[in-house]
Structure formats: C-alpha cells, structure tokens
C-alpha cells in the first residue's frame, strides 16, 4: 500500500455542547493500568532484553513501516471514535499536578484501548503512555519497538469541548521515531509520517513554508497558566520579543496539533517548555518529514526526553528564535538523552 493511501480519512460531525465537573480524588486504578499497559512482553523475557540490548540495530524495512503506519492510523481512528463520543458529554475530570493539568476517564480508557490494540497486533512491542506514566510506571525507552502514546493531547480542550483534541501515536525503533500519526479526533484530520517517507495530511503530502525571516512568521506556542512569578515574567519576555518581531502568536491548546501547523506550512515557528516525550514524538517526525527543523529550545540537538522543543520552517529561523528565548529548564523524562537523528541520515 502506498504511504499516502495510509492517510485518508472518513468525516464526522458533532454538535451538542458538553459539561464537565472536576473531582478531587484520582480516578486512576493503578494496578489495572500497570497490568494492562506496562511494558508487557508476551513472547520474550523483558528483563533479558533490557540487560542485553541487541549489538546491531534492529533492521527496519519499508514494508514494516507501512504495516506500522497502517496500524497506527487504525488505532488513532478507533481512539478518535471514543474521544468523539465522549466529547460533548459530561466529563469526570481529575486534577493532576495543578488545576490546569487535568485527566479524564476518557484519557485513561483510550490509552488502555490503544495499548491493547497494539499488543494484540505486535505482542513483543513495548509502550510509553501519558496516563500509564502518571499512574507510576517509569518511562523506559530501549532499542526495542516502543509505541509512545498520548491518548488525548489537549485534555483541557477536551474538557471544555474546544474542538482541537489529538490522539498522538509514534513508534520508536533503535530510539528513532519510525512512524507517527497525530489525529484531530474531533475535526477528523489525520497527519501521518514515516521516516524517509514524507509527511501527509489526509493522504496529501505536506511541507513547511520554508520562511527564513521572523518578520514573515507566525509563531505557535502555549503560554502556560499558573506559573510562578519569575516563570511568568520569562513567558511574557518571550511572547513580547516574538510579538515585536513576528506576524503574530497562535495556540491550538494541543502541542501535537500545534506542531502539525509547522509541518503543513500554516505557521513557521513552534516552541514550548515542559512538554513530555508523548507530546513530542509524533510531531517531531511529522515536522522533519515535512522538511522542517526540530531542535531543543536553545538551538541544540533535539532530545526526545528533554521536555522542550523548538521547531521551525528553516534553520535560520530556528536559530533566530532560540537566541532570543529565556529558557525554562525542566527535569527530563529520562536521565539518558534520546537524540533523534535527522531523517535524512
Ligand atoms: C498538553 C497539551 C498542551 C501543552 C501541554 C501538554 P495533554 O498535553 O499538549 O497544549 O501545552 O504542555 O501537556 O496534557 O493535554 O495531553
């Protein structure tokens, strides 16, 4: 099957308004999530795999990538159906780290569903997921095929029924992202990429705008709420310097879909601090396959575990923005960095 055929979508419409309520106590059943979604390997001994990583990299063929991409799209559509059916209903919401960091039963159910889907298809594959991590499972990325999943990217949007909510799925092999999908489950738009195969929106090839000048650039970023006064000052500094030089600032409220705006040339710069590997994995590949540049916010090599990203339609633009940013350093997702090679390597 051609790569672009793996990208077509069916359409769907929803209209009712939803409500939500926030609960104080967590709704996560830790043991259930851990047992259903930890790095379970039905065929081989995981301990052995972890202690003795393969000496030579796992070979990845184009055929395998197409199979994985097809599976990722199927999983995203199944997940999207769940997300849409819950989107306008009353939601049970639980706070995580702050009143702006929320989780719903749908996030947790969709993550379990997606893990089970892949486990049935690929019993030896491993998993990293936002809600599994929130439930206490450590993030561990080995060379083995590992699905990195954000079941609902834009949980705040989901809670408010703001129609930018993504299912973000990426597969890492040898610590490289090989296939990725970001699916706007409400508007039914599928972004997809395979390493070395290009990036697509609903089956059509996409590419960055190529802009090199900040004066001609739209910037996409999240100005996080409820920060400490110092971090708030740094945020205002960053926004101000970009507003003074660029064409404007936008935010869709989901990191994964923000990144897709760079990939399809709708905006030129994206940066964010504090995001995690499941927010970044799919977008990083989609942007690079669309011809864009993905770095860390200081303009250095992109670390999937580094909790920040700067993406742009060109290297010149990325470096201009990096040099003007005040940085917000967060504890990385893992101690060992994971630097993704350029997709041209
Ligand atoms: C969040 C969204 C948001 C970004 C946050 C993420 P979640 O993901 O992507 O746009 O600013 O950093 O955590 O929690 O909705 O999956």
CA 254 – CA 242 distance, rounded (Å): 20
**Over the stretch 10-19, which tens digit does the pLDDT of each residue have?**
333 322 233 4
> Two tokens at 5?
């055929």
pLDDT digits (tens, 9 = 90+) for 115-168: 999 999 999 999 999 999 999 999 999 999 999 999 999 999 999 999 999 999
Check if 222 has its Cβ closer than 6 Å to any atom of ligand 1. Answer: yes
Q: Which residues belong to the active site? A: 130, 150, 152-153, 155, 279
**Contact criterion met (CB below 8 Å) for 153 and 255:** yes
Is 7's pLDDT higher than 70?
no
Would you say the CB of residue 312 lies under 6 angstroms from ligand 1?
Answer: no
Out of 256, 279, 283, 307, give the residue to mutate to test ligand 1, the one with the largest number of ligand atoms within 8 Å of its CB. 279
Ligand 1 within 6 A of CB of 274: yes
* Per-residue pLDDT at 8 exceeds 50: no
**Do the beta carbons of residue 278 and residue 129 sit within 8 Å?**
yes
Query: For residues 325 and 74, what is the distance between their CA atoms, to the nearest angstrom?
Result: 39
163 Cα: distance to centroid of ligand 1 (angstroms)? 14
Which residue has a Cα nearest atom 1 of ligand 1?
154
- Structure confidence at residue 99 as a pLDDT band (50, 70, 90): confident
Q: What is the DSSP letter of 111?
A: H
Residues 159-207 have pLDDT tens digits of 999 999 999 999 999 999 999 999 999 999 999 999 999 999 999 999 9
Strand order, beta sheet including 269-273: 248-250, 218-221, 269-273, 308-312, 293-295
Strands (E), the chain: 20-23, 91-95, 102-104, 126-129, 146-153, 166-173, 176-184, 189-194, 198-201, 204-205, 218-221, 248-250, 269-273, 293-295, 308-312
Pocket residue to mutate for ligand 1, from 95, 249, 255, most atoms within 8 A of Cβ: 255
Angle between helices 315-324 and 229-245 (to 10 degrees): 140
- Picking from 158, 156, 165, 159, the residue whose alpha carbon sits closest to that of residue 185 is 165
What's the distance, CA 178 to chain centroid? 14
Residues 301, 341: contact at Cβ < 8 Å? no
CA distance 170 to 285: 9
């Amino acid at each position: 099957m051609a790569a672009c055929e793996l990208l077509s979508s069916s359409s769907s419409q929803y209209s009712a308004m939803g409500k939500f309520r926030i609960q104080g106590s967590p709704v996560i059943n830790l043991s259930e999530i851990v047992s259903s979604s930890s790095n379970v390997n039905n065929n081989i001994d995981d301990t052995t795999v972890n202690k003795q990583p393969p000496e030579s990299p796992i070979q990845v063929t184009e055929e395998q990538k197409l199979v994985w991409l097809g599976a990722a799209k199927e999983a995203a559509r199944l997940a999207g159906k769940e997300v849409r059916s819950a989107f306008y209903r009353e939601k049970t919401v639980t706070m995580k780290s702050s009143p702006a960091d929320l989780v719903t039963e749908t996030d947790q159910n969709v993550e379990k569903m997606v893990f089970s889907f892949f486990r049935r298809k690929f019993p030896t594959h491993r998993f990293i997921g936002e809600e599994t991590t929130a439930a206490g499972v450590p993030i561990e990325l080995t060379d083995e095929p590992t699905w990195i999943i954000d079941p609902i990217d834009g949980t705040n949007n989901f809670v408010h029924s703001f129609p930018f909510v993504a299912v973000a799925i990426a597969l890492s092999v040898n610590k490289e992202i090989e296939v990725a999908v970001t699916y706007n489950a409400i508007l039914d738009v599928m972004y997809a990429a395979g390493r070395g195969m290009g990036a697509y929106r609903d089956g059509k090839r996409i590419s960055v705008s190529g802009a090199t000048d900040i004066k001609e650039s739209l910037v996409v970023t999240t100005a996080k709420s409820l920060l400490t006064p110092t971090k708030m000052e740094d945020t205002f500094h960053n926004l101000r310097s970009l507003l003074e030089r660029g064409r404007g600032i936008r935010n869709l409220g989901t990191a994964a879909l923000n990144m897709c705006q760079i990939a399809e040339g709708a905006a030129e710069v994206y940066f964010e601090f504090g995001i995690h590997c499941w927010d970044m994995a799919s977008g990083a590949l989609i942007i690079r396959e669309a011809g864009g540049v993905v770095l860390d916010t200081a303009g250095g090599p992109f670390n999937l575990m580094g909790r920040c990203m700067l993406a742009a339609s060109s290297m010149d633009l990325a470096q201009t923005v990096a040099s003007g940013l005040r940085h917000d350093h967060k504890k990385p997702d893992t101690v060992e960095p994971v630097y993704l090679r350029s997709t041209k390597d």
